[in-house]
Structure 1
Amino acid sequence: MFIIGHRGARALGPENTLSSLRKGMACADLVEVDLRLTRDGIPVAIHDATLDRTTDGAGPVKGHTVEDLAGLDAGGGERIPTLAEILDLVRNATGLVAEIKEPGTEAIIVSALMDQMPERLFLVSFHPASVATAKRLLPGAQAGLIYSEETGDPVALARSVQADLILPRWDRVSRELVERAHAAGLLVAPWLLNTEDDIREALRLGIDGFSSDDPCAARRYLEGLAGERPVRQASPGGA
């Protein structure tokens, strides 16, 4: 079962910063970042469409150049990193989950990833069209559909956009969903699992991986629970 560090390790450092990513890399198999474009078309890691919550700046991310953003404090003196900086950091060290936040930005993000491909890469999005586009542009990567609300048949939707995995909100996961996804050749990697009880239940359900705000605590829980129930083996690099 693989562990994804959510926004690096959001519980341990300012989210989506190099500091948070370093902390997540200490324990996670892959670290996740949220990607948006600046006004001058540079992919940067920030969750919200605006700067207000996570930095000392204000206004829309896409209204600022990468140079503008470089002067902002994203928490604890950290900056908003570019995707290029993130790729330098994770190279030969850990896998990357790149979340496409905005439809229409796929080609620029994929181009940056192709310049310095991580050893393991998941391209994921809440937007089905973005998943399909990312998979078409970079077929060598695994693509994943994220969802939090009812989507009808998420397994069928994921397969229709050539996804390799689904990333449901944890309260949307059931034994039936996991079995149907596996039968369709999909991995299941829900979010967010932050307690020992959640990880114990995930083992029982047979999921393939999960996202956590504190991947180091999640690793300790997972190792402590390893003897309770066999863990289904699944590589984060392939179904």
Structure 2
Amino acid sequence: MSRDTHEFGRRSFVAGTGALLGAASLGGVGSATTMNGTNAAREGHREWKGEDDDPTIIAHRGFAGVYPENTLGAVGRATWGDGADMIEIDVIPSKDGEVMVLHDPDLSSRDDGTRGLTDLDGYVWEYTAEELQEANVLQSGETVPTLAEVLDLVPDSVGVNIEFKNPDTTDIVTSGRLSDEELTERMETWRPLAEEALHVASQYDNEILVSSFAEAAIAVVRDIDHSVPVAYLFFGSIETGLEITRDYGCEAMHPPYDMIKGTPFFGDVYGSYEDIDLVEIAREEDRTLNVWTVGTWYQAEQLAAAGVDGLIADYPNLLWSGNDEMEWKRGDSEDHEDESETGTEETKTETETESDADAETATEAANETTAAETGTGTGTETAVPTETETDDGN
């Protein structure tokens, strides 16, 4: 893919040639705890909401359903083009300690081995940042960026959810509790990545939220800087997720979308759950409730109606409303009716004459086209959109 560089102030957006670019209207996230120690998020999770009290739209890996995930191209399009309120990205360290933005620790694993995340083999931490920045992500022509490169690109008004995916090992514990001894040991495994990621993030004005499936990752962020807001990623058990959330005073909770009671898909995707209402608990405890990973407008509408605060989504514009579109069309139709009623009889006659002439011309053109055809009819070519495959995990 050929690449152009577009400047937006101090931000640089590297994108594929021909991309639609522009500083779209950006809905910033509400007040949240940031690197300066302000603790507004705990004053009320509703402050994280988007405009008109709709859920905040969090672009999962930069809207991975339509763009090559965790790349500058995806982040640029999701923020400058699609107006995401927040970006969700994954981080893993390189061999030389740089914080790299990508999801899979195994650089060649994806789609049962038929297609790699990149054109490299091995693990992320076996390569330097320079080597990773030359890797081809999902055969898109985009490469693996550093956290600093991503934050250089994201507008200040857009929040950044940094998910700690892996330290420099696959020997991690996720979705479960650790003993005191295990916790102490594993916190030190996460510490170098956490310290560097928080250091990089502290140099930017974006609101930052750190999330992880790993208890030790949440614990080490709290240990390094207690003012940084954190979110535990739930999986398997609501009770375990709540226990970890409460123990570390997490400002946010990130459950899968099928953990939201009162929706048609409660306990119907990733497993059966305890009879617990996370929306009610989030309100009672002043925690932000963001759900992953939303892929359809139906899921988005149901979750919004249930009262979640944020949608970690693979696609933009999932809160489109068919009713709004119908009202707009009806209003447009009424305007035309009003205009025709105010016109003179002479104007109406001229319009009807012009329409008759246009119809006659169109008929003649259609007859000429039919005469030129050698078959029984013209062929119709239907454009089939290319589907971007992503894994189910956050």
TM beyond 0.5: yes
Provide the residue aligned with 2:160 in structure 1.
96
Cα drift, residue 119 of structure 1: 2.3
Do the aligned residues in 1 keep the contact of 2:86 with 2:160 (CA within 8 Å)?
yes
Do the aligned residues in 1 keep the contact of 2:62 with 2:88 (CA within 8 Å)?
yes
Residue segments in structure 1 that go unaligned for 5+ positions in a row: 228-239
Cα drift, residue 33 of structure 1: 0.6
Do the aligned residues in 2 keep the contact of 1:155 with 1:184 (CA within 8 Å)?
no
**One-letter code aligned to 2:73:** S
Residue segments in structure 2 that go unaligned for 5+ positions in a row: 1-54, 109-115, 168-189, 263-276, 328-394
Deviations 1:177-219 (A, max 9, x none): 21012212211100111222212211221111110001x2225
Provide the residue aligned with 2:320 in structure 1.
220
Q: Per chain length, whose mean CA-contact separation is higher, i.e. which structure has more relative contact order (CA < 8 Å, sep 6+)?
A: 1
Provide the residue aligned with 1:237 in structure 2.
none
**One-letter code aligned to 2:307:** G
Cα drift, residue 156 of structure 1: 3.1
**One-letter code aligned to 2:244:** L
Per the normalisation by structure 2, the TM-score is 0.54
Deviations 1:111-137 (A, max 9, x none): 2212x2342111111112211322342
Provide the residue aligned with 2:125 in structure 1.
62
Per the normalisation by structure 1, the TM-score is 0.86
Provide the residue aligned with 1:29 in structure 2.
85
Aligned-CA RMSD value: 2.1
2-side partners of 1:141 and 1:219: how far apart? Answer: 29
Q: Does 1:17 align with 2:71?
A: yes
CA spacing shift, 1:220–1:22, aligned 2, 3 Å? farther
CA spacing shift, 1:195–1:182, aligned 2, 3 Å? same
2-side partners of 1:194 and 1:222: how far apart? Answer: 17
Cα drift, residue 32 of structure 1: 0.8
Number of residue pairs matched? 224
Moved more, 188-197 or 100-109: 100-109
* Residue aligned with 2:281, SS: helix
Identity, in percent, stands at 26
Do the aligned residues in 2 keep the contact of 1:27 with 1:219 (CA within 8 Å)?
no
Cα drift, residue 68 of structure 1: 1.2
Do the aligned residues in 2 keep the contact of 1:143 with 1:165 (CA within 8 Å)?
yes
Cα drift, residue 155 of structure 1: 2.4
2-side partners of 1:172 and 1:30: how far apart? Answer: 22
Provide the residue aligned with 2:281 in structure 1.
180
Choose from 219, 223, 233 the match for 1:132: 219
